[in-house]
């Protein structure tokens, strides 16, 4: 087996084959997702929330994300690994964006980078792809702009739809190999998916995108509390881990663990 390439994802779109994407931030999940046939893994800046415990993705840095990128790359054989450029590492202009993207490729070892923004980020996407680094764009709701947008809100309702469509065209024209559509009405996502030559990856964007992505802790039910409406939980890892932890703690207190078979 060999690594998935961006070309494979283009070919999948041409065939009408849909594909899954998950976030991953560590070697065990990366290895499981890789061996389960998930062709693209994203080391998301959502590590800010899901690994480091920040309230938003704004504070997380390249220094924090790069070791996670390296871990996911080391643990996988087949998946294409996308490293997410954090807030503040590419907005200044194409030169800063290219410098950060090169760092992710050289120090992180990933195979592509992702950044947030549509028309505004076309110069950055052109600079990075011009250097031979594949770029996944991310439009619609973009969490790094949460404070400007005013919270988690669907983008592209009613006459705003044209804005999201213009962003989609711009990132494709700038050379992106794929585009994440986050919290976009299903009909807008469908129209973009039909029109664009590159794959669309939906999260809260309905059933008609070429691919679907979820944060793995949401998908597997490790995160507790109310999940966004677009999340489906495929397991209850929080429940399983809570039960295991309670049992371990109880057996230590009672003296039941360790038993003879655990003892040298
Ligand atoms: O960081 C992240 O998890 C993401 C995906 C939800 C697309 O950007
Ligand atoms: Na992200």
pLDDT score of 39 more than 90: yes
Contact 54, 65 (CB under 8 A): no
| Catalytic residue IDs | 182
Please state, in angstroms and rounded to a whole number, the distance separating the CA atoms of residues 188 and 171: 16
Q: Of all helices (H) and strands (E), which one includes residue 218?
A: helix 216-219
The residue nearest atom 5 of ligand 1, judged by CA position, is 44
224-261 residue pLDDT tens:
888 899 999 999 999 999 999 999 999 999 999 999 99
Ligand positioned closest to the Cα atom of 228: 1
**What is the ipTM metric for this complex?**
0.99
Ion ligand 2 — residues with CB under 5 Å? 44-45, 84
DSSP assignment of 62-108 equals HHHHHHHHHHHHHT-SSSEEEEEPPTTSSTT-HHHHHHHHHHIIIII
DSSP assignment of 148-161 equals HHTSS-----GGGH
Q: How confident is the model at residue 110, as a pLDDT?
A: 98
Please state, in angstroms and rounded to a whole number, the distance separating the CA atoms of residues 5 and 111: 8
- Pick the atom of ligand 1 nearest to 57's CA: 1
Ligand positioned closest to the Cα atom of 202: 1
How far is Cα of residue 249 from the mean position of the Cα atoms in its chain? Answer: 35
CA–centroid distance, 250 to ligand 1, in Å, is 37
Q: Is the CB of 126 under 6 A from ligand 1?
A: no
Q: Which of 38, 136, 180 to mutate to test the pocket of ligand 1 (most atoms within 8 A of CB)?
A: 180
46-96 residue pLDDT tens:
999 999 999 999 999 999 999 999 999 999 999 999 999 999 999 999 999
* Dihedral sign from CA coordinates of 9, 154, 140, 152: negative
All structural domains of the chain with their residue ranges:
6-233, 236-264
CA–centroid distance, 245 to ligand 1, in Å, is 29
The dotted CATH code for 6-233 is: 3.20.20.60
């Amino acid at each position: 087996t060999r690594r998935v390439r961006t070309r494979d994802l283009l070919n999948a779109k041409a065939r009408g084959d849909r594909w899954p994407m998950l976030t991953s931030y560590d070697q065990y999940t990366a290895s499981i997702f890789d061996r389960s046939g998930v062709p693209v893994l994203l080391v998301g800046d959502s590590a800010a929330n899901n690994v480091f415990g920040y309230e938003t993705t704004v504070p997380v840095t390249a220094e924090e994300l790069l070791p996670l990128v390296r871990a996911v790359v080391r643990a996988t054989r087949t998946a294409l690994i996308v490293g997410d450029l954090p807030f503040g590492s590419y907005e200044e202009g194409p030169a800063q964006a290219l410098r950060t993207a090169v760092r992710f490729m050289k120090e992180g070892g990933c195979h592509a980078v992702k950044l947030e923004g549509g028309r505004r980020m076309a110069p950055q996407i052109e600079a990075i792809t011009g250097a031979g680094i594949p770029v996944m764009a991310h439009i619609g709701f973009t969490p790094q702009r949460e404070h400007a947008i005013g919270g988690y809100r669907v983008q592209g309702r009613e006459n705003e739809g044209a804005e999201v469509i213009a962003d989609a065209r711009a990132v494709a024209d700038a050379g992106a190999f794929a585009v994440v559509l986050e919290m976009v009405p299903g009909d807008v996502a469908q129209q973009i998916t039909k029109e664009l030559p590159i794959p669309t990856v939906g999260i809260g964007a309905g059933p008609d995108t070429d691919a679907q992505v979820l944060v793995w802790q949401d998908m597997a039910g490790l995160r507790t509390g109310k999940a966004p409406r677009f999340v489906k939980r495929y397991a209850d890892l929080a429940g399983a881990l809570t039960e295991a932890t309670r049992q371990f703690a109880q057996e230590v207190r009672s003296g039941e663990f360790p038993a003879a078979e655990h003892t040298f």
